Structure formats: structure tokens, C-alpha cells
Amino acid sequence: MKSLDPYLIRKDFPILERKIGNLPLVYLDNAASSLKPIQVIDAVCRFYREHYSNVFRGVHELSREATEMYEEAREKVRKFIGARNASEVIFTYNATDSLNMVAFGWGFSNVEEGDRIVVTIMEHHSNLLPWRKLSEVRRAELSYIDIDDEGILKYDTLSEIIDEKTRIVTVTHMSNVLGTINRLEDIVKRAHEVNAIVVVDGAQSVPHMKVDVKELDIDFLAFSGHKMLAPTGIGVLWGKLDLLEEMEPYRLGGGAVKRMEYNSAVFREPPLKFEAGTPNIAGAIGLGAAIEYLTHIGMDNVREHEERLVEHTLKLFEEELVNNIELYGPKDPKVRGGIISFNLKDYSCHSVGVMLDLRGIAVRTGLHCANPLHRRLGVNGTVRASYYIYNTVEEIEYLVSCLKEFTKKRSATI
């Protein structure tokens, strides 16, 4: 596909044929979870219908087929994120699970009292709570990188905050509230100067832009399948192989050990030592199908499409709602992803969400699991519209027309 055609893509998503009331569904909640194309749905159903078995330990044909499909999915992930070795790709439940795996697997063995863990003020709770717990248990210091008024990290403070005591720097690649795309190269350079590792929450970036772990030179990357067309319950932790080899397993159980004695155990090599128990086999196969779908479209095309949608949104907000809307995040579409968070004057964010739902528009409202960021912004919540490959200019124009209608009605009652 030479360029992304959202109208053609929409034909692959059966749920977009739904009506909300008597109105077409306008799905703008992709930062929470994406819709699923028929190709992914069919891949999962085909596995359950024709190939289902548990993986790895069976000698019968179905188990061999399931294992092969599961490992093929791992290889698709490897290629998609530019990893050197499939052994660096661990299947998890989601990005939250992946981040906990690093915090409690690598962190507990390598962070000591007095060390520093650096996060940013814009992190999702999934990339705050594990590090907060680690810092409490290990008596380490948790430090925050702040943002400026436009929602961009204060890069001029990196050398001060990321100091010689720092063991871990963990950062979202793209904010789930502001849409800010962070300059990882600046953070990685400074962190590696002081021998700290860099953990990246890629939940919002991997589904929407090209991410190459070799080029970024990060140490760990976490992301979820359900935000990138795949089923729920499947995620990925990628890590540099030498770090994974020294890292302790976060979950213990069947399939993770080579040998088990009464009082000792010898663990398998990565990735299997981190995948104890029966994994989400169908989810991994669905993720592989989603990666094939996105690869066919082209991640550069995905990014360009969302950039155009953001640019059009910001233009309409400026033209139609300038005195009635508060917008959060960078003004330049080049440095923000397909996420628009805002508040409408004289309305709570939840009221706006309900009114939009009555018009068939699905958005997210509230704190978006980013309470510290909202406190930094000085608001109790925001309305978030987030875009993906099947969203259109017409949907954005409909959103803006509804918001404009709300402001007129509000003015008429005052």
C-alpha cells in the first residue's frame, strides 16, 4: 500500500458498522485500546478452530503446530521493533506487566539504598507505581523530570537530575495525555554517560510510529498488543540480551526451569525463563497478525496519517473554538502523536464525554492514569480524543462541530 487510505482500511473493521443509538460510531479512544481488523480476528479463531494445543512440551502434531505459530509470532515482533535476536522478545500480559517485570526482576537485584531512579512527570501510572514501590523497598530516591508549559520535557535539566547515583531512567516514548513524543536520544545519551539503564514505555509509540530498538540504543522496551490491533492480554518486553541473561524471573512456574531439585533450580535461557506457565498463545498469534497488517500499511504511513489528523484538529480548534477550549500538549504536530487532550470552557470533562457519546463519539475522560501530570497541569481531568489508521478528517470535523454546538448551547443558557 503506497499511502494510507482510511476509507479502505475501515472495511476491515466490522465494529465500525455499528450504530450508537441511530448514529455511526466515531471511535476516538485508541490510546486506551484499538479496534480489531477481521484479519486479526480470523487468525485467532483459526488457531482455536484448527491448531489449538499447549506449546513447547507436547510431542504430538497439534502441540508442534501451536509452538511453531507462537515462535513465528515472536519472530514477527523481533523484526517489527528491529531487535537483533528473538531471544530478546518476551511475551507478557501487557505493557504494565512488562514494566513490573523489569522493576522487580532487574531493579531488585541492581538498585541499592541511596541510588536514584529517574522518571518523568508525564508517566502513566504503569510506569510510576512499580518504580515507586522499588524505591520504597530498596530505599532509593525517585526523581522527576519536569515539563515546560507546552508539555515538553525540560531537557536542560537532564545533566542535573540524571547524575552518578542514577541506576534507572524510565520514560514514556509518547505521552498518553499530551501526545508529546519525547527525544529519547537525549535521555539515552545522558543515562549511558552515568551507566544507567533506560527503560521505555512504548505503549503509545510502537502502535503509531516506527520504533527500532537498535537505533534508539535503549535497554528495555515495553508495549501492549491491544493498543495496536491485537487482542487483549498480550504484551511484549524487549531487553538487551545481556541484561535479560542476568535478570531474575518475575514469575516462577512450569516451563521456566531446565532442572528442579528439592532445594535448587536452574532456569532456562531467555525468553523462556520469563514465560512461566501457559502463555497467551492465541494472543501472541493475534499480535503477529496485527504486526503483519501494520507492516503492510507501513509505519511511516501510519505516522503521517495521524500527523495530518492532528494538524487538522489543531487548525479547527483554533478557528472554531479558540475562546472556548483549553488544549494541552505541544502545538507542533511534528512533536506530538495522535492524541488531543482538552477541556471545554464551563463543562467538566465527564460532561463533555457523555454529550459526545450521545452523538456516537467515543472519547476518554478523566485523569487517564496520569494523576501527577494532571496536577502539574492544574486540572482535575481532561477529554482525550486519540486517533488511529481508520479515523478520518470527516470524523474530526464532526467532533469539532459537536463541541461548537455545546459551547453555543452553554452560552444561550447563561
Three-state DSSP class for 173?
coil
Task: Compute the CA torsion angle 8, 40, 218, 91 (nearest 10 deg).
Answer: 180
**Cα–Cα distance, 127 to 371 (Å, whole number):** 12
- Closest to 26 (Cα-Cα) out of 297, 308, 358, 307: 358
Cα 78 from chain centroid? 17
Three-state DSSP class for 120?
strand
**Cα–Cα distance, 232 to 283 (Å, whole number):** 7
Instruction: Report residue 184 as a C-alpha cell.
Output: 529519547
Terminal-to-terminal C-alpha distance of the chain: 51
- Closest to 37 (Cα-Cα) out of 210, 315, 292, 262: 292
| Bond before 372 cis per omega within 30 degrees | no
Helix-strand-coil split of the chain, %, nearest 5: 45, 20, 35
- Closest to 8 (Cα-Cα) out of 217, 296, 357, 299: 296
SS3 of 85-110: the string is CHHHEEEECCHHHHHHHHHHHHHHHH
**Cα–Cα distance, 410 to 326 (Å, whole number):** 16
Whether 369 is catalytic: yes
Q: Which of 45, 349, 369, 402 is catalytic?
A: 369
- Closest to 91 (Cα-Cα) out of 107, 76, 104: 76
- Closest to 115 (Cα-Cα) out of 101, 100, 131, 127: 131
Which residues have a catalytic role annotated? 369
